[in-house]
Amino acid sequence: MPDETSAPGKGERTRQRIKSAALKLFARHGLNGVSVRDINQAAGQKNAGSINYHFSSRDDLIRELVFDVAKIIDNAHNDRIDALEASGGPRTIREVVEILVQTPSISDEDPVADDYSLRFMNMVLISHREMLFDAMRGQDRGTRRCLAHIRRMAPEMPAEVLQQRLMLVIIYLITAASSREAALVDRSAWENLWGHKSARDNLADTVVGIVCAPVSGETLESLRLEGRSAGSTETRAGNPRTH
């Protein structure tokens, strides 16, 4: 048994060091590019069994990191949608999108978490999608509430198309947030994008555009060829409210 827990509180400090080191490594190199040995070395752990002792396995460590980040983001989304609903909103899709594009501070105590959490989430999305959504289960209520409002206000379209667009919005937002985070750490990264103050507002514009763009004839034809009649799918009536 590792001797890291011999003093009160020492075990928890070790867990946090491991989590911080793993988060940074995963964010920079991807999940498949980081070994248990890499994490132990970065965390200053001489005992090769430290990760298995504190987290049972490498995958459990990843799941805990996902849960931690997702919980903070979800709490921020819930607080913001609560405030919007309390004021009688949301009245437009843009108001909801403004919630989704805001990036909360992940940790006031761990600067590594604030600098690498969103890139870590993007890496998990790329290579371990099922693990990401499994670990997030129960920590996405705020996001689901936002998406429910977007569904309510979206322009009329086949339900399958709207569902695809909402999934694309989530992928797009995670990827965009990852690049914004990288730009905060290294000002030269993405300078031609996030170096412009207009980029954040333009991000919100493009998210609204993903939801509200007219459905093309090509997409409707693809639905027909797949055996799904646009006329038989659930639609959302009414004009889109975006501004």
DSSP string, 116-127: HHHHHHHHHHHH
**pLDDT tops 60 at residue 99:** yes
Question: Is residue 6 domain-resident?
Answer: yes
Confirm if 229 and 161 have CB atoms less than 8 A apart.
Answer: no
Residues 48 and 166 in one domain: no
Residue 108's pLDDT is 60
Domain final position from 9, 31, 56: 56
Calculate the average pLDDT of the chain.
87
Residues 52 and 72 in one domain: no
Residues 76 and 51 in one domain: no
Quick one: tokens of 173? Answer: 């937002």
Q: By residue range, what is the domain housing residue 201? A: 65-225
Residue 8's pLDDT is 43
Q: What percent of the chain has pLDDT over 70?
A: 87
What letters, b where the CB count within 10 A reaches 16 and e where it falls short, cover 149-183?
bbeebbbebbeebbeebbeebeeebbbbbbbbbbb
Tens-place pLDDT, residues 8-27: 477 788 899 999 999 999 99
Compute the average pLDDT of residues 91-97.
97
Report the distance separating Cα 217 and Cα 126, nearest Å.
Answer: 30
Residues 132 and 215 in one domain: yes
Residue (of 144, 147, 163, 143) closest to 235 by Cα position: 163
Question: Is residue 234 domain-resident?
Answer: no
Dihedral angle sign, alpha carbons of residues 74, 29, 185, 171: negative
151 residue type, one letter = R
Residue (of 102, 101, 96) closest to 81 by Cα position: 96
Count of Cβ atoms closer than 10 Å to residue 3 Cβ: 8
Confirm if 185 and 132 have CB atoms less than 8 A apart.
Answer: no
Question: Is residue 238 domain-resident?
Answer: no
Residue 222's pLDDT is 94
Quick one: tokens of 234? Answer: 């659930």
**pLDDT tops 80 at residue 239:** no
Residue 156's pLDDT is 96
Domain of 9, CATH number, reads 1.10.10.60
Residues 84 and 44 in one domain: no
Tens-place pLDDT, residues 199-236: 999 999 999 999 999 999 999 999 999 885 544 444 44
Residues 184 and 73 in one domain: yes
Tens-place pLDDT, residues 35-83: 999 999 999 988 878 888 899 899 999 999 999 999 999 999 999 999 9
Confirm if 106 and 69 have CB atoms less than 8 A apart.
Answer: yes
Residues 122 and 205 in one domain: yes
Residues 103 and 217 in one domain: yes
Residue 161's pLDDT is 97
Domain final position from 22, 39, 56: 56
- Note the pTM of the prediction, 2 decimals: 0.81
Report the distance separating Cα 55 and Cα 104, nearest Å.
Answer: 26
Question: Is residue 101 domain-resident?
Answer: yes
Residues 200 and 98 in one domain: yes
Residue 1's pLDDT is 40
Say how many domains are in the chain.
Answer: 2
Tens-place pLDDT, residues 115-170: 899 999 999 999 888 888 888 888 889 999 999 999 999 999 999 999 999 999 99
Residue (of 201, 213, 145) closest to 176 by Cα position: 201
Residues 202 and 159 in one domain: yes
Quick one: tokens of 223? Answer: 């639905």
Question: Is residue 202 domain-resident?
Answer: yes
